[in-house]
């Protein structure tokens, strides 16, 4: 399966990122803490090349803390300053500002040595759709500047925003043209990063169920009262549908409504902290 989705405004946004990159000193890359690798845009990395960057793992409150700690270590080992953020936590916002400020200091010191009047450091903030970029910007600026929403593609243009000691260039969320790895597509669909119309929601829900069975079996037994010995996906859907009242005409379980319940429970954190992928260092440790 190859998912293709590249609206015109995203192609335009990519070109604008390339053009504006020379105006900034470093990049702030936002990733979803629940799937940091899958939510990294490989196309943008080609554009960024050697530009310094920091990573912000968004929605840490919805992720598995153990996985998030390992992702922070994973990026730090590569020399990339990394912080995990819950946008409702003031200390997390202050941590982002502090790292951004530190990254801008060296640039300003170089300008000063050249006799150039220091200016505020400039950063570009990038990320795929629905990663929480607009919400973070509003927290950083302490006022509502960027539009927010719970669907992909709310931001469609670039704008400069003043944040304490640095200036921030907001950019629209950009996806790459197609997902060669179907698992990446399912992860992003499960998290609501790509539009729900792109994949059958029953398939996305089935992907979530299979993943929970492998990594978080207690969620299935405790929240959905499922037997882990059940392999038949239709049987699983019917069991969850009956439990949650997802019934259609004639009292028959609605697969569509059941899929919606499963996906919504994941996205809203009702299952607890769930991470859909773990870093390679963890995989290596578990196989040794």
237, part of any domain: yes
**Nearest residue to 88 (alpha-carbon basis) of 51, 47, 136, 124:** 136
Distance (Å, rounded) from C-alpha 92 to C-alpha 75? 18
Dihedral of the alpha carbons of 212, 215, 221, 225, in degrees to the nearest 10:
0
The number of distinct structural domains making up the chain is: 2
For tokens 């090349």, name the residue. 49
**Nearest residue to 80 (alpha-carbon basis) of 58, 106, 54, 99:** 54
15, part of any domain: yes
For residues 147 and 254, membership in a common domain is answered with no
For residues 86 and 159, membership in a common domain is answered with yes
The encoded tokens of residue 141 equal 């600026």
pLDDT at position 62, please? 97
The encoded tokens of residue 175 equal 């996806």
For tokens 């990594």, name the residue. 215
| CB 259, CB 265: distance < 8 Å | no
pLDDT at position 179, please? 64
For tokens 């793992």, name the residue. 57
For residues 166 and 209, membership in a common domain is answered with no
DSSP line for 112-133:
HHTTPPP--EEEEEEE-TTSSH
For residues 14 and 119, membership in a common domain is answered with yes
CATH code for position 133:
3.40.50.300
pLDDT at position 224, please? 95
Per-residue pLDDT of the chain (288 residues; tens, 9 = 90+): 555 555 555 566 677 777 888 889 999 999 999 999 999 887 777 777 788 999 999 999 999 999 999 999 999 999 999 999 999 999 999 999 999 989 988 778 888 888 888 788 899 888 888 899 889 988 998 877 655 444 444 444 567 888 877 888 887 666 655 566 889 889 999 999 888 887 899 999 999 999 999 999 999 999 999 988 888 999 999 999 999 999 988 889 999 999 999 999 999 999 999 999 999 754 544 443
Interhelix angle 255-267/233-244, nearest 10 degrees: 80
183, part of any domain: no
Q: How far is CA 108 from CA 18, 24, 164, in A?
A: 23, 12, 15
**Nearest residue to 162 (alpha-carbon basis) of 126, 131, 138, 128:** 138
For residues 137 and 224, membership in a common domain is answered with no
180, part of any domain: no
Q: Domain range holding 280?
A: 200-287
For residues 58 and 147, membership in a common domain is answered with yes
């Amino acid at each position: 399966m190859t998912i293709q989705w590249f609206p015109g405004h995203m192609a335009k946004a990519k070109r604008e990122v390339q053009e504006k990159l020379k105006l900034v000193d470093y990049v702030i890359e936002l990733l979803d803490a629940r799937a940091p690798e899958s939510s990294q845009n490989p196309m943008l990395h080609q554009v960024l090349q050697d530009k310094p960057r920091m990573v912000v793992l968004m929605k840490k409150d919805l992720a598995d803390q153990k996985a998030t700690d390992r992702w922070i270590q994973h990026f730090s080992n590569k020399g990339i300053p990394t912080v995990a953020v819950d946008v409702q936590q003031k200390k997390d916002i202050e941590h982002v500002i502090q790292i951004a400020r530190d990254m801008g200091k060296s640039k300003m010191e170089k300008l000063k040595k050249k006799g150039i009047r220091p200016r505020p450091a400039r950063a570009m903030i990038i990320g795929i759709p629905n990663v929480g970029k607009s919400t973070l910007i509003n927290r950083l600026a302490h006022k509502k500047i960027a539009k927010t929403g719970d669907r992909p593609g709310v931001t469609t243009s670039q704008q400069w925003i003043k944040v304490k000691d640095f200036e921030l260039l907001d950019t629209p969320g950009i996806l790459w043209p197609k997902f060669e790895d179907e698992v990446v597509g399912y992860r992003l669909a499960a998290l609501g990063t790509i539009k729900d119309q792109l994949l059958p929601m029953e398939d996305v829900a089935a992907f979530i169920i299979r993943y929970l069975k492998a990594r978080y079996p207690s969620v299935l037994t405790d929240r959905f009262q499922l037997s882990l010995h059940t392999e038949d996906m239709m049987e699983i859907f019917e069991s969850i549908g009956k439990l949650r009242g997802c019934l259609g005409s004639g009292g028959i379980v609605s697969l569509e409504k059941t899929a919606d319940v499963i996906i919504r429970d994941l996205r809203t954190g009702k299952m607890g902290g769930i991470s859909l992928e773990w870093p390679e260092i963890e995989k290596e440790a578990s196989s040794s």
